[in-house]
C-alpha cells in the first residue's frame, strides 16, 4: 500500500504561540525604568529572564494556538497529508520535552499521527516542513531538493527567501495550498 505523504509541523511559533507568551511574561517582569523587552536581541539580562521563564514547570503547556500554523495545518489535512509534529527539544529542559508531547495530545490528537522531539530536525523525513526558523529550514532542506517548506511569517524571518520556501503571512493561503498540492500530486504541479 502506498503511504500518504508526510507534512511535518513545528510547534514554537508555528502551531504554538511561543513568542507571544514569552513576550507577555517578559513584560510582567520588566521594570518601568528599562526599555520594552525585545525577543532574540541577544541582551544578556533578557536572555537570562527568558531562560528562567521557559524553565518553569508547566510553562510550555499553557502556550496558545497560533493561527498562522493552524491555517496551514487545516490546508495540509484537506489535501490528504499525513501530519506529524517535528519540534526541537530545548537542551537541558527535559520537562519541556514531556510538556510539548502533552500539548500535542491536548490540541492535536485529531490531526497528527506522531510527534518527534529532536535535537536535529534534518534527520526526519517528510515531503513538506512547516517551520518559522530559517536555520532549521536550511538544515532540513540540505538533503531534500524536492522538499517544500511553508514558513509562518515573523519579524525575524522577513528577509528569508529560498526557492523551496513559501512564506505565509495570513493573506496567501491559496499560494500555500498550490505549493503543497504540487508536492503531494506532482502531476498536478507539472
- Kindly tell me which of 85 and 181 has the beta carbon lying closer to Mg ion: 85
Least distance between Mg ion and beta carbon 16 (Å): 8
Give the nearest residue (CB) to Mg ion: 12
- Kindly tell me which of 17 and 132 has the beta carbon lying closer to Mg ion: 132
Rounded Cα distance, 18 and 20, in Å: 6
Least distance between Mg ion and beta carbon 1 (Å): 33
3-state secondary structure of 17: coil
Rounded Cα distance, 173 and 29, in Å: 37
Least distance between Mg ion and beta carbon 87 (Å): 8
Q: Are 115 and 147 in contact (CB under 8 A)?
A: no
C-alpha cell recorded at residue 121: 530536525
Least distance between Mg ion and beta carbon 32 (Å): 31
- Kindly tell me which of 34 and 142 has the beta carbon lying closer to Mg ion: 142
Least distance between Mg ion and beta carbon 127 (Å): 19
Q: Which candidate, 49, 113, 52, 60, places its Cα nearest to that of 82? A: 113
The residue ranges that bind Mg ion (CB under 5 A) are 10, 12-13, 132-133
- Kindly tell me which of 121 and 177 has the beta carbon lying closer to Mg ion: 121
- Kindly tell me which of 133 and 184 has the beta carbon lying closer to Mg ion: 133
3-state secondary structure of 139: helix
Q: Which residues contact 26 (CB under 8 A, 6 or more apart)?
A: 37, 39, 46, 49, 50, 53
102-126 as b/e: b if 16+ CB within 10 A: ebbeebbeebbeebbbeeebeeeeb
Least distance between Mg ion and beta carbon 175 (Å): 21
- Kindly tell me which of 12 and 25 has the beta carbon lying closer to Mg ion: 12
Instruction: Determine the angle formed by the axes of helices 67-79 and 173-184, rounding to 10 degrees.
Output: 40
Amino acid at each position: 500500500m502506498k503511504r500518504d505523504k508526510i507534512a511535518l509541523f513545528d510547534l514554537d511559533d508555528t502551531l504554538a504561540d511561543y513568542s507571544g507568551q514569552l513576550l507577555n511574561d517578559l513584560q510582567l517582569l520588566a521594570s518601568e525604568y528599562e526599555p520594552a523587552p525585545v525577543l532574540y536581541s541577544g541582551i544578556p539580562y533578557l536572555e537570562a529572564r527568558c531562560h528562567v521563564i521557559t524553565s518553569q514547570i508547566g510553562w510550555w503547556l499553557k502556550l496558545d494556538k497560533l493561527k498562522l500554523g493552524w491555517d496551514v495545518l487545516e490546508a495540509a489535512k484537506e489535501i490528504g497529508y499525513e501530519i506529524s509534529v517535528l519540534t526541537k527539544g530545548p537542551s537541558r529542559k527535559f520537562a519541556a520535552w514531556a510538556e510539548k508531547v502533552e500539548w500535542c495530545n491536548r490540541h492535536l490528537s485529531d490531526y497528527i499521527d506522531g510527534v518527534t522531539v529532536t535535537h536535529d530536525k534534518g534527520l526526519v523525513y517528510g515531503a513538506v516542513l512547516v517551520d518559522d526558523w530559517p536555520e532549521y529550514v536550511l538544515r532540513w532542506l540540505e538533503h531534500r531538493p524536492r522538499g517544500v517548506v511553508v514558513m509562518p511569517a515573523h519579524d525575524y524571518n522577513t528577509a528569508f527567501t529560498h526557492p523551496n520556501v513559501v512564506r505565509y503571512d495570513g493573506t496567501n493561503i491559496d499560494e500555500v495550498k498550490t505549493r503543497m498540492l504540487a508536492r503531494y500530486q506532482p502531476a498536478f504541479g507539472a
